[in-house]
């Protein structure tokens, strides 16, 4: 039986409602993470007045789940006003931050605003490893102090661990740390290309053997046999399916007001400074094209055994050349997970990919109707 | 029976989709979906209007149901939501 969230998402999709929006308030940052896909310029960020107007439009359009991210959101001096205004408009709110600027005062107002979730990036339980990734000495200690403050105020904290070569062996340590702090833990071995197209940071991706190790770690995937099982036979219901929620029930807005299907899908669809949010959502030609794509329209994936279970990311496919094409990162993931090569790998005559972008997001605890 | 004054809890996230409210309690990450009748009560729960007034004004005309039956159901519903901390019930108006 579908969870309430799945039913809500389906209703939103049927009605054309943008259920979830992710806004980057700034790309400025006080860390310089080695895997970051953003530039850190501060040109022409949406002002507080512009954001209030945008939030009004989004609330009227039916947006319910709102993520505020960056860059580092606490570099916005008006963050508190933005969050409190968004809460007054009824959004369910999630903040993504490195938390190093969160002290007692910030934790108190975040709690008072009834923010649902604060997601904080922790790369290692070892200060030398974490700080080497953020390039900020003392950053682990400051982030952990903030987590303790947020937890003391009763906030739901998620520790997000992006896994890459320098910290590949540290996920269990971060998982233990999360348990100790009363935080949720999520792991993401997803290194995406830089938004300017530079793919050099993909060299940080973990090796295939390490990815396989993750897929066979019970504390991450729970049922290893089910997680690594071969894909089910492909039928019409699978081929009539849509790839993911990007552009269907969710979208991303940059600090400058540019709207995209997703933060990982840099297909420009309009700018909220020039066009009303709902008009972009309803009429943007790129968004309409994204929404029209069904699994049977995909150039290679439509004849792949994995099409029903692959977590193919259309944004990564787009960055690899075509949103109708395969995302090699996900081919790799499907292959490592099941041992069965993807159609794309077979056509290329290779199953020994090593320079791919593994893309997984593993959330150990998911309960229907209780959103974590 | 004393008049009950329901009021929506202030720390929630909510949105109405197609006449049905979706309510998130961030304290425990619980998501609720209210049907149209429940949504009508939820939206009218301002702490100043009695449950009886809400039923008579919002429920009876729209669903062609007698007030006593509707009030009984509404009270059950209100107490259920109160148990989940998404609705507060008082015996006094928020005005007083």
Lowest mean pLDDT among A1-15, A64-78, A265-279: A1-15
What does the pLDDT read at residue A354? Answer: 45
Helix (H, G, I), strand (E, B) or coil at B86: coil
Confidence (pLDDT) at B1? 60
User: What would the mean pLDDT of A99-115 be, rounded to a whole number?
Assistant: 98
Binary contact (A115, B24; C-beta < 8 A): no
List, for residues A71-96, the tens digit of each pLDDT value.
999 999 999 999 999 999 999 999 99
| Residue B64: pLDDT band with limits 50, 70, 90 | confident
CB-based contacts of A272: which residues, under 8 Å, 6+ apart?
A46, A50, A54, A57, A253, A257, A259, A280
Sequence length of chain A is 372
Mean pLDDT score of chain A? 91
- Strand pairing category for A258-260 and A270-271: antiparallel
- pLDDT given at position B96: 53
Residue A147 and residue A179: Cα distance in Å, rounded?
12
Name B31's bridge partners.
B24
pLDDT tens track for A124-158: 999 999 999 999 999 999 999 999 999 999 999 99
- Out of B14, B22, B24, the one facing A116 most closely (by C-beta) is B24
pTM of the predicted protein model: 0.91
Residue A320 has phi, psi (to 5 degrees) of -90, -5
Q: What is the predicted pLDDT for the residue at A370?
A: 46
Query: A180 touching B, CB under 8 A?
Result: no
Contacts of A11 in chain B (CB under 8 A): 17-18
The 3-state secondary structure of chain A reads: CCCHHHHHHHHHHHHCCCCEEEEECCCCCCCCCCCCCCCCCCCCCCCHHHHHHHHHHHHHHCCCEEEEECCCHHHCCCHHHHHHHHHHCCCEEEEEECCCCCCHHHHHHHHHCCCCEEEEECCCCCHHHHHHHHCCCCHHHHHHHHHHHHHHCCCCEEEEEECCHHHCCCHHHHHHHHHHHCCEEEEECCCCCCCCCCCHHHHHCCCHHHHHHHHCCHHHHCCHHHHCCCCCCCCHHHHCCCCCCECCCEEEECCCCEEECECCECCCCEECCCCCHHHHHHHCHHHHHHHHCCHHHCCCHHHCHHHHCCCCCHHHHHHCCCCCCCCHHHHHHHHHHHCCCCHHHHHHCCCCCCCCCCCCCECCCCECCECC
How far is CA A343 from each of CA A293, A302, A311, rounded to the nearest angstrom? 19, 9, 15
- pLDDT band for A243, please (50, 70, 90 cuts): confident
In angstroms, the Cα distances linking A359 to A207, A214, A219, A314, A329 are: 12, 12, 18, 12, 6
Residue B29 with chain A: CB contacts under 8 Å:
116-117, 156, 370-372
CA nearest neighbour of A180 among A163, A164, A157, A213 = A157
- Of residues A8, A116, A370, nearest to B13 (C-beta): A116
Query: Which residues in chain B touch residue A91, judged by CB atoms under 8 angstroms apart?
Result: 13
Give the range among A112-126, A226-240, A316-330, A344-358 with minimum mean pLDDT: A344-358
Q: So what's the pLDDT on residue A173?
A: 97
Q: For residue A151, what is the nearest residue in chain B, using CA coordinates?
A: B27
Mark which residues 150-169 of A lie under 8 Å from B by CB: 154, 156
Q: Which of A195-199, B58-62, B92-96 has the lowest mean pLDDT?
A: B92-96
Task: Mark out chain B residues that contact chain A at CB-CB < 8 A.
Answer: 10-15, 17-18, 22, 24, 26-31, 33
Give the integer Cα–Cα distance in Å for A85 and A97.
19
Nearest Cα residue to A184 out of A138, A243, A122: A122
Tokens (6 digits) for A32: 């310089």
- Using 50, 70 and 90 to split pLDDT, how confident is the model at A121? very high
Residues in chain B: 96
Domains of chain B listed by start with CATH number: 5-90 (3.90.930.60)
Provide mean pLDDT across the span A51-57. 98
pLDDT above 70 (res A25) = yes
């Amino acid at each position: 039986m579908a969870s309430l969230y799945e039913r809500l998402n389906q209703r939103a999709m049927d009605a054309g409602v943008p259920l979830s929006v992710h806004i980057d308030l700034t790309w400025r940052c006080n860390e310089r993470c080695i895997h970051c896909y953003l530039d850190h310029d501060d040109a022409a960020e949406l002002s507080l007045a512009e954001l209030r107007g945008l939030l009004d439009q989004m609330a009227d359009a039916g947006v319910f789940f709102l993520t505020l991210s960056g860059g580092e959101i606490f570099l916005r001096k008006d963050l508190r006003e933005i969050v409190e205004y968004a809460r007054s408009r009824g959004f369910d709110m999630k903040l993504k931050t490195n938390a190093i600027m969160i002290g007692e005062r910030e934790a108190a107002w975040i709690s008072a605003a009834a923010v649902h979730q604060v997601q904080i990036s922790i790369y290692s339980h070892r200060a030398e490893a974490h700080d080497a990734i953020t390039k900020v000495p003392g950053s682990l200690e400051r982030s952990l102090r903030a987590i303790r403050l947020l937890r003391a105020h009763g906030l739901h904290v998620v520790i997000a661990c992006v896994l890459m070569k320098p910290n590949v062996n540290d996920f269990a340590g971060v998982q233990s740390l999360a348990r100790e702090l009363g935080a949720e833990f999520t792991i993401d071995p997803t290194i995406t290309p830089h938004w300017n197209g530079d793919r050099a940071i993909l060299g940080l991706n973990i090796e295939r053997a390490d990815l396989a190790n993750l897929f066979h770690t019970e504390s991450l995937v729970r049922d290893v046999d089910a997680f690594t099982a071969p894909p089910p036979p492909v039928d019409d219901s699978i081929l009539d399916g849509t790839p993911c929620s990007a552009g269907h029930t969710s979208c991303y807005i940059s600090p400058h007001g540019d709207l995209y299907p997703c933060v990982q899908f840099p297909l420009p669809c309009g700018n909220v400074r020039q066009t009303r949010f709902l008009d972009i959502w309803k009429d943007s030609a790129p968004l309409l094209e994204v929404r029209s794509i069904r699994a049977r329209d995909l150039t290679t994936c439509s004849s792949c055994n994995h099409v029903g279970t692959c977590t193919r990311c259309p944004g990564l496919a787009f960055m690899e050349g075509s949103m109708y094409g395969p995302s090699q990162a996900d081919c790799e993931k499907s292959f490592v997970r099941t041992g069965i090569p993807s159609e794309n790998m077979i056509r290329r005559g290779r199953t020994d990919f090593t320079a791919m972008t593994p893309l997984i997001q593993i959330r150990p605890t998911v309960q229907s109707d209780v959103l974590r | 029976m004393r008049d009950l004054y329901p009021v929506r809890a202030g720390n929630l996230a909510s949105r109405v989709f197609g006449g049905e409210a979706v309510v998130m309690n961030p304290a425990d990450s619980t998501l609720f979906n209210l049907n149209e009748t429940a949504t009508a009560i939820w939206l009218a729960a301002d702490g100043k209007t009695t449950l009886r007034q809400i039923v008579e004004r919002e429920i009876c005309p729209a669903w062609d149901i007698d007030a006593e039956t509707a009030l009984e159901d509404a009270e059950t519903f209100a107490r259920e939501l109160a148990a989940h901390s998404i609705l507060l019930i008082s015996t006094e108006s928020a005005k007083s």
